[in-house]
Amino acid sequence: MKIAVSGKGGVGKTLIAGTLARMFAKDGFKVLAIDNDSAMNLSYTLGLDEGTKNQIIPIKEMKSMIDERTLVKGAGPGVYNINPKVSDIPDKYKVSGPDGLQLLVLGGIEEPATGCLCPENALIRTLLYHLMVKRDEVIIVDFEAGIEHLGRGTAKGIDLMLVVTEPSQKSLDLCKKIIDLSKKLGVINIYLIANKLIDESQKDVLNERIKDWEVPLYHSVPFDPEIGKADLNGESPIDFNQTSKGVQAINSLYLKLKKLKSEIFDL
Ligand SMILES: Nc1ncnc2c1ncn2[C@@H]1O[C@H](COP(=O)(O)OP(=O)(O)O)[C@@H](O)[C@H]1O
Ligand SMILES: [Mg+2]
């Protein structure tokens, strides 16, 4: 099952992606977590040890490897292969984390307008396609705030798109865009998750705001100071306090997804 987590910056994508990855792994699933956000902080939420964290080089920064894969010999500058060989990259560059899970740090995809180097985007896109379509494990991708870089190819393998919102109109507006774009790209299972809710009345307000949406609110996670404390310590929330109300709510999301997996995807 391939799960993508998206939403505005700061809403809790990394918290939810990383904690779900740990829960699948604890339960015995083979898990590959993918960090595709330019902030690249999934390793903290996953609880990787310091040594492993320091050893990570994001794929995006492996300039000579990217050149070697994408440059077309003798073609001169500006010509590169947009479909480079990537199948060996995940196993070569992933690192191991707790509960047997594995992490591959890609780095974000910048839009051409920001002056990106196109070969690295081409490589990461091809890699995402490969991961989503060809790999046979639980894959959880922590995406960049926007999903504009997704194309039909990369969206193709996404079984579940979790769109995370906090109780704010700005965040909801971006969710609407992400949902519309995901649908256009052919993603069928889109789930809206509310995070950082202070009380039930906020859930009511959110439900009222989205009453015309085709995608209802699937799950909510309360605001939980324990998550902030874990972050301050540089620890993973699940290791810091497994019984906190935020981690518990993510655990009940995990159980729903696991049920969904067995009902829909393991046919
Ligand atoms: N349910 C929650 N309760 C309290 N703080 C939270 C909660 N979810 C996320 N946070 C805090 O919000 C900040 C952003 O979370 P993060 O997962 O990094 O968001 P994103 O990946 O979407 O940018 C972090 O400092 C995190 O500790
Ligand atoms: Mg993040």
Q: Which residues contact 209 (CB under 8 A, 6 or more apart)?
A: 169, 172
Residue 91: phi, psi to the nearest 5?
Answer: -70, -25
Residue 97 Cβ inside 6 Å of ligand 1? The answer reads no
Phi first, then psi, for residue 164 (nearest 5°) are: -100, 135
Distance 123 CA to ligand 2 centre (A): 22
| C-alpha of residue 228 to centroid of ligand 1, in Å | 7
Contact status, residue 106 vs residue 59, Cβ threshold 8 Å = yes
| Ligand 1 centroid, distance to 11 Cα (angstroms) | 6
CATH of domain 2-265: 3.40.50.300
CA–CA gap between residue 20 and residue 101 (Å, rounded) = 11
Quick one: which atom of ligand 1 is closest to the CA of 224? 3
21-35, 134-148, 225-239: segment of lowest average pLDDT: 134-148
Report the pLDDT value the prediction gives residue 35, as an integer from 0 to 100: 96
Q: Which one of the ligands is nearest to 41 CA? A: 2
Give the per-residue pLDDT at 95: 98
What's the confidence (pLDDT) of residue 112? 54
Residue pair 2/158 in contact (Cβ under 8 Å)? The answer is yes
Residue 26 has a pLDDT of 98
Query: Does position 144 have pLDDT exceeding 70, yes or no?
Result: yes
Which residues 6+ apart lie within 8 Å of 222 measured at CB? 196, 197, 198, 245, 246, 249
**Planar angle of CA 213, 9, 180, nearest 5 degrees:** 30
Cα 58 to averaged position of ligand 1 atoms, centre (Å): 22
User: What pLDDT is recorded for position 147?
Assistant: 76
Residue type, 261: K
Instruction: Report residue 96's pLDDT band, with 50, 70 and 90 as the boundaries.
Output: very high
Question: What integer is the mean pLDDT of 119-124?
Answer: 87
| Ligand 1 contacts CB of residue 146 (under 6 A) | no
| Residues by chain with Cβ below 5 Å of ion ligand 2 | 13-14, 37
With 70 as the cut, is the pLDDT of residue 117 above it?
no
247 Cβ below 6 A of ligand 1: no
Given a cut of 60, whether residue 234 has pLDDT beyond it is yes
Residue 29 CA to residue 52 CA, distance in Å, equals 21
Q: Is residue 149's pLDDT more than 80? A: no
Enumerate the domain spans of the chain: 2-265
227 lines ligand 1 (CB under 6 A): yes
Model confidence at 249: pLDDT above 90: yes
Q: Which two tokens stand for residue 128?
A: 């995402």
**Measured in angstroms, how far is the CA atom of residue 42 from the centroid of ligand 2?**
7
The answer on pLDDT for 113 being more than 70 is: no
51/150 Cα distance (integer angstroms): 32
pLDDT in tens, 45-82: 999 999 999 999 999 999 999 999 998 888 877 788 88
- Between 208 and 113, the more confident residue is 208
Q: Is the pLDDT of residue 214 over 60?
A: yes
Ligand 1 centroid – CA 195 distance (Å): 8
Query: What local confidence, expressed as pLDDT, does residue 111 receive?
Result: 63
DSSP state of 59: G
The residues near 22 (Cβ < 8 Å, ≥ 6 apart) are 46, 47, 98, 99, 101, 236, 238
Largest Cα–Cα distance in the chain?
64
Q: Percent of the chain beyond pLDDT 70?
A: 97
Averaged confidence pLDDT in the chain: 92
Contacts of 179 (CB under 8 A, 6+ apart): 163, 190, 192, 213, 214, 215
Determine the average pLDDT of the residues in 129-137.
90
Q: What per-residue confidence (pLDDT) applies to 108?
A: 83
What confidence category does residue 267 fall into, taking pLDDT thresholds of 50, 70 and 90? Answer: low
pLDDT band at 266 (very low <50, low <70, confident <90, very high): confident
